[in-house]
Every structure is written in structure tokens, then in C-alpha cells.
Amino acid sequence: MFDLRRLWGGKRGSKTQAKERLQLILIHDRSSLSPELLDLIKQRILDVLTEFVEIDEQGLAIDLEQTDDTSALITNIPIKAVRRNTRVL
């Protein structure tokens, strides 16, 4: 008999595809950060770092990078100078 599954180009049932796609989608959905939250993280990082070093705030960037199975926060923080009072530490 005419097999519908052949038409979709695979021997496996579509359930496997549904499950695999959902596994990736849910990982991605669960790890995404809102722009507000990213701003907050950026501010807190700045607060901590400015205690020790002078930072070029304009040049500071923070992003969430996602691949299929990993997520990473990538930041680039340009330092202008180390504060005088922290050099002794």
C-alpha cells in the first residue's frame, strides 16, 4: 500500500523528529534572557569592576551567545586604567 511516511522522506515516524526539535527549542527558550535582565547584569558587573579598575563604559558589551547545545555570556570590557589604591593589593 502507498506509504505516507515515504512521502515525507524518512523511514522514522515523525514523532522522533517532533521530540528532537522540541528538545532543542525548549533548551533555547529556557535559556534566553530578556534585554532588561541583560542590562541589569551589565550594571552589576560594572559596579563590581569599577571598584578596582576604570572602565570605558561606552565600549562595554555583553551578549548571550547560543549554539544548539550551549549558552554563554560573552562580554568585552575595555579597561582605561587600574585604580591607584588597588595597585598595592
Note the residues at the interface with other proteins (CB under 8 A).
5, 12-16, 18-19, 21-23, 25-26, 29-30
Side chain identity, residue 86: T
Smallest gap from Cβ 38 to other proteins, in A, equals 17
Coil/strand/helix, residue 68? coil
Nearer to other proteins, 8 or 56 (CB): 8
Q: Are 42 and 60 in contact (CB under 8 A)?
A: yes
Smallest gap from Cβ 58 to other proteins, in A, equals 33
Q: Is the dihedral of CA 79, 81, 83, 86 positive or negative?
A: positive
Smallest gap from Cβ 67 to other proteins, in A, equals 19
